[in-house]
Amino acid sequence: MTPRPILFVDHADALGGAERSLLLLMAFLNHARWQPHLVAPPGQLADKADRAGIPVHTLELPRLRGSVRSPADWWKGAGNISAIARRVGAASIHSNTVRASAYAAPAARLARLPFFWHMRDFWLLEAEPASKLADRIGKLLFCRAAAAVITNSHAVAAHLPSSANAFVLHNGIDLSSFDANNSSPGNREAMCQEAGFHPAAPIVGMVGRLRPTKGQHSFLHMAGKLAETVPDCRFLVVGGDPFRVGDDYEARLATLCSQLGLDDRVHWTGQLSDVRPALEAMDVFVHPGTPEPFGLVNIEAMAMGKPVVAFGHGALPEIVAHGETGILVPPDDIGALTEAVSRLLGDAPLSQRMGLAGRRRVEQYFGIERTVAELEAFYERTLARN
Query: What pLDDT, on a 0 to 100 scale, did the predictor assign at position 185?
Result: 57
Task: Tell me the average pLDDT across 247-262.
Answer: 95
CA distance 354 to 63: 43
Beta carbons within 10 angstroms of residue 260's beta carbon: 16
CA distance 339 to 29: 43
Comparing CA positions, the residue from 184, 299, 222, 210 lying closest to residue 308 is 299
- 248 vs 349, higher pLDDT: 349
User: What are 67-99's pLDDT values in tens digits?
Assistant: 555 788 899 999 999 999 999 999 999 999 999
Contact 60, 103 (CB under 8 A): no
pTM of the model: 0.91
Query: What pLDDT, on a 0 to 100 scale, did the predictor assign at position 162?
Result: 78
Query: What pLDDT, on a 0 to 100 scale, did the predictor assign at position 21?
Result: 96
Q: Indicate the burial class of 383 (C-beta count within 10 angstroms; 0-12, 13-18, 19 or more).
A: middle
User: What are 154-166's pLDDT values in tens digits?
Assistant: 999 999 997 667 9
User: What are 182-196's pLDDT values in tens digits?
Assistant: 556 577 889 999 999
User: What are 316-325's pLDDT values in tens digits?
Assistant: 999 999 999 9
Share of the chain above pLDDT 90, in %: 84
Instruction: Supply angle C-alpha 72, 73, 75, rounded to 5.
Output: 65
Comparing CA positions, the residue from 113, 137, 383 lying closest to residue 104 is 113
Q: What is the pLDDT of the chain when averaged over all its residues?
A: 93
Query: What pLDDT, on a 0 to 100 scale, did the predictor assign at position 349?
Result: 98
On the question of pLDDT at 61 being above 60, the answer is: yes
User: What are 30-42's pLDDT values in tens digits?
Assistant: 999 999 999 999 9
Query: What pLDDT, on a 0 to 100 scale, did the predictor assign at position 187?
Result: 79
Query: What pLDDT, on a 0 to 100 scale, did the predictor assign at position 332?
Result: 95
User: What are 348-373's pLDDT values in tens digits?
Assistant: 999 999 999 999 999 999 999 999 99
Query: What pLDDT, on a 0 to 100 scale, did the predictor assign at position 382?
Result: 95
Residue type, 30: N
Instruction: Supply angle C-alpha 205, 209, 213, rounded to 5.
Output: 95
Contact 321, 349 (CB under 8 A): no
- What backbone phi and psi angles, to 5 degrees, belong to 253? -65, -40
Secondary structure, 3-state, the chain: CCCEEEEEECCCCCCCHHHHHHHHHHHHCCCCCEEEEEEECCCHHHHHHHHCCCCEEECCCCCCCCCCCCHHHHHHHHHHHHHHHHHHCCCEEEECCHHHHHHHHHHHHHHCCCEEEEECCCCCCCCCCCCHHHHHHHHHHHHHHCCEEEECCHHHHCCCCCHHHCEECCCCECHHHCCHHHCCHHHHHHHHHHHCCCCCCCEEEEECCCCHHHCHHHHHHHHHHHHHHCCCCEEEEEECCCCCCCCCHHHHHHHHHHHCCCCCCEEEEECCCCCHHHHHHCCEEEECCCCCCCCHHHHHHHHCCCCEEEECCCCHHHHCCECCCEEEECCCCHHHHHHHHHHHHCCHHHHHHHHHHHHHHHHHHCEHHHHHHHHHHHHHHHHHCC
Query: What pLDDT, on a 0 to 100 scale, did the predictor assign at position 158?
Result: 94
Tell me which of 86-100, 162-176, 283-297 is least confident: 162-176
Beta carbons within 10 angstroms of residue 220's beta carbon: 23
Residue type, 285: F
Query: What pLDDT, on a 0 to 100 scale, did the predictor assign at position 163?
Result: 66
Contact 117, 149 (CB under 8 A): yes
User: What are 199-237's pLDDT values in tens digits?
Assistant: 999 999 999 999 999 999 999 999 999 999 999 999 999
On the question of pLDDT at 302 being above 70, the answer is: yes
Contact 173, 24 (CB under 8 A): yes
Query: What pLDDT, on a 0 to 100 scale, did the predictor assign at position 183?
Result: 59
CA distance 254 to 294: 27
For the domain spanning 4-172+367-384, the CATH number is 3.40.50.2000
Choosing among 3.40.470.10, 3.40.50.2000, 3.40.50.720, 3.40.50.11540, the CATH entry for 175-365 is 3.40.50.2000
Q: pLDDT category, 66, cuts 50, 70, 90?
A: low
Where in the chain is CATH 3.40.50.2000? 4-172+367-384, 175-365
On the question of pLDDT at 386 being above 90, the answer is: no
On the question of pLDDT at 15 being above 70, the answer is: yes
